[in-house]
Structure 1
Amino acid sequence: MADLQDELHTLPEAGDHDKAHHAAQAVSRTPDPPIPADADGQADELERARALLAAHPVADGYSGLPWALRHLPWYDLQLGESAVDTDVPRLREGHVGALLWSLHLPEGLAADRAVGATLEQLDLVRSVIAAHPEGLRLARSAGQVIDARNCGRVAVVLGPAAAAALDDSLAILRVLHSLGLRVLTLAGTSWASAAGLTRFGEEVVREMNRLGVLADLSGASDTTVRRTLTLSRTPVLCTRSAARALRPHPDNLPDELLAELGAAKGLCLVPLTAEQTGPSVRDVADHLDHVRAIAGPDSVGLSGTYDSGTAHPQGLADASGYPHLIAELLRRGWPDTDISLLTWGNVQRVLRTADFAARAAQERREPSPVRIAHLDG
């Protein structure tokens, strides 16, 4: 695997980012929708949104970029890359400060390929970060996310990965964690199914808590969600879940689970996809309003789901569109404090809590030697 390049490089000042962006205009992409000429108030709110995001950037809860890049023979994320939704100029324009890079595998991949394919993606991610040290930096903790932001880089947090990547082995979980994995999706295995967590599944959650690996419950059964909320000593994530009351997608959460997630201080990261939230910025804002009302302002975040093969709402086609969404929330009366939690504060809290809980757990608990046959055989 390529070594990470941690050296600090001189970056342009914040005011120079627009110049860098204009220098990359050769990259073809759909421009943001214009602000109506008679909408001075809307223009003011867009400028206010950009100012808020400059202080509290977006921690984007799901990016499918690693799998998208593996099919490209050549790319340059620093200058700009039209073949994908995400590159450094658009991250700068959208005020994205951190990304969770998904290591999910495509449907239909043979089960015996899950471990190897996940390791290949980890290798690719490390190579991509090493090739773009001016814009990206791997972050293994909440503190490293802050360090990356202070150095002008976009922090990359590895995960979620599919639970199938563990091959029913806690030893593989520990190896993946040592390579940087920080989020694991609990769905699609014999030990985290429609029937909920088995005894081995519960041991997986305990070992994740000990390591500081966060549980992603998007796509998990309601029974698995409830049991994990009860069992986990750290907050959980739903990296791609909106409000089922507004749109009946299977990955969206019903109000009762949203309330339980909020009570447990978990985090629902609302995806910017037409399928789950609707075709417009207003539809996305409706879901954010609903999740905030049910789960609370401490339990709602953003999930771009860019480069994951899904259609996005108009005006949010790529990572540069976040200011337009925040401007819509300002028009709806969201206070600055709630927006700062939505974009940055809530993800930081969850990462920080996982770090603290892991240090405490490691003082009282040795690595688990349990195998699936011991509990579920």
Structure 2
Amino acid sequence: MADLQDELHALPEACELPDTAQTAPFAPRPTPGDPLERARALLAAHPVIDGHSGLPWALRDLPWYDLQLGESGVDTDVLRLREGQVGALLWSLHLPERLAGERAVGATLEQLDLVRSVIAAHPEGLRLARSAGQVIDARNCGRVAVVLGPAGAAALDDSLGILRVLHSLGLRVLTLAGASWAGEAGLTRFGEEVVREMNRLGVLADLSGASDATIGRALALSRTPVLCTRSAARSLRAHPDNLSDALLAELGAAKGLCLVPSSPERTGPRVQDVADHVDHVRAIAGPECVGLSGAHDRGAGPDAASGYPQLIAELLARGWPETDVALLTWGNMQRVLRSADFAARAARERRKPSTVRITELDAPDD
């Protein structure tokens, strides 16, 4: 039955904006000429799917917390997510760079265990989602959907078997940067096999922080759209995670998704700075290839989770059509999740689980 949820519970497409009174009867009616009220009404129908939250790593150091009633020890809680009209978010399982090998695998499993405990402790606010349909179900039940990932490539310890185990535990996004098989020269033969197995499982590739060569090869190889979970426009701000205009154009041609972060170091400290990057990515990659990412609890600031209405109001004031805003907040990420679900079902019918080892494909030169 879970496989049918996309069809049974599908929302209207982003371009078909339903009447707000039908989809959210208690949402405020927009006031003509008031972008903030228009933004809140639009977000009631098409909430934000936030592409990167560092909450799990931040929670591990707190002796006690309550995300339902409000938590001052972190930048994100259920109250602020609802204030920001966030309907779903990706929970990052990234680790400190010093962890590798078995230590990275163990730390990632510990974070997965923590995430499950956090969701179980907050059943009125949070719900784990493994598919696009489950994201919609959580939203319809008044919960914030939690999608697990991105995790760092170090969590695999160069093992496709570990990738399958992590997927069985709910992992949906894996960052390719930082692996021996995804370096400055691009994907190795084993790296290409990792991407193929991710496609078969329905695990999305996150290319933020990867080299330009790795990004280009992954775009060409992947049969499902790829994500850049915390990347903005390099031409506006020269952060290493940001993308050049050429890469943004390639990402748009491949129908991938650039999730622009509300992160001072990547986009700037002001709402207007973030809007500038969103504008630029939309202009280069297209309106179907841009989304939002808070990068919460990794320096985004205390109002990062609740500040989305202000950002949407800024975009509306700049003349964004509501159809493009609906794609930005909800529609584009839903499309990518659905594409991964459908492609994985088809791939599993024609491809068996890969059992190759990195030493078989990436043998060192003599």
- What is the TM-score when the length of structure 2 is the normalising length? 0.90
Contact 2:262–2:304 (CA under 8 A) maintained in structure 1: no
Uncovered stretches (5+) of structure 2, i.e. residues with no partner: 1-22
Match of 1:343 among 297, 310, 329: 329
Q: Partner of 1:101: helix, strand, or coil?
A: strand
Structure 1: distance between partners of 2:239 and 2:268: 11
Structure 1: distance between partners of 2:100 and 2:250: 35
Query: 1:254 aligned to 2:228?
Result: no
Query: 1:278 aligned to 2:264?
Result: no
Query: 1:368 aligned to 2:354?
Result: yes
Q: Aligned ranges for residues 27-176 of structure 1 at < 5 Å?
A: 44-176=34-166
Uncovered stretches (5+) of structure 1, i.e. residues with no partner: 1-12, 19-39
Q: Aligned ranges for residues 215-226 of structure 1 at < 5 Å?
A: 215-226=205-216
Structure 2: distance between partners of 1:272 and 1:318: 7
How far 1:16 moved relative to its partner? Answer: 8.0
Contact 2:27–2:41 (CA under 8 A) maintained in structure 1: no
Contact 2:294–2:300 (CA under 8 A) maintained in structure 1: no
Structure 2: distance between partners of 1:351 and 1:110: 29
- What is the TM-score when the length of structure 1 is the normalising length? 0.88
Q: Partner of 2:240: helix, strand, or coil?
A: coil
Aligned to 1:317: 303
What code does the residue aligned with 1:155 have? Answer: A
Query: 1:328 aligned to 2:318?
Result: no
How far 1:112 moved relative to its partner? Answer: 3.3
Q: Partner of 1:285: helix, strand, or coil?
A: helix
What code does the residue aligned with 1:192 have? Answer: A
Structure 2: distance between partners of 1:321 and 1:287: 16
Per-residue CA shift, 1:117-168, capped at 9, x if unaligned? 0000000000000000000000000000000001110000000000010000
How far 1:111 moved relative to its partner? Answer: 3.7
Q: Partner of 1:275: helix, strand, or coil?
A: coil
Match of 2:171 among 175, 181, 194: 181
Contact 1:243–1:254 (CA under 8 A) maintained in structure 2: yes
Paired residues in the alignment total 339
Contact 1:160–1:216 (CA under 8 A) maintained in structure 2: yes
Structure 1: distance between partners of 2:297 and 2:158: 28
Structure 2: distance between partners of 1:116 and 1:334: 45
Contact 2:100–2:154 (CA under 8 A) maintained in structure 1: no
Taking only the aligned residue pairs, the percentage that are identical comes to 82
Q: Partner of 1:161: helix, strand, or coil?
A: strand
What code does the residue aligned with 2:143 have? Answer: R
Structure 2: distance between partners of 1:208 and 1:263: 21
Per-residue CA shift, 1:193-233, capped at 9, x if unaligned? 11110000000000000000000000000000000000000
How far 1:259 moved relative to its partner? Answer: 0.1
Structure 2: distance between partners of 1:159 and 1:41: 39
Structure 2: distance between partners of 1:255 and 1:271: 17
Structure 1: distance between partners of 2:68 and 2:180: 41
How far 1:45 moved relative to its partner? Answer: 1.0
Contact 1:17–1:92 (CA under 8 A) maintained in structure 2: no
Structure 2: distance between partners of 1:15 and 1:93: 17
Describe the shift of the 1:83–1:15 C-alpha distance in structure 2 as closer, same or farther (beyond 3 A). farther
Structure 2: distance between partners of 1:311 and 1:239: 14
Query: 1:228 aligned to 2:218?
Result: yes
How far 1:279 moved relative to its partner? Answer: 1.5
Moved more, 87-96 or 105-114: 105-114
Aligned to 1:27: none
How far 1:15 moved relative to its partner? Answer: 7.7
Q: Aligned ranges for residues 352-363 of structure 1 at < 5 Å?
A: 352-363=338-349
How far 1:369 moved relative to its partner? Answer: 1.1
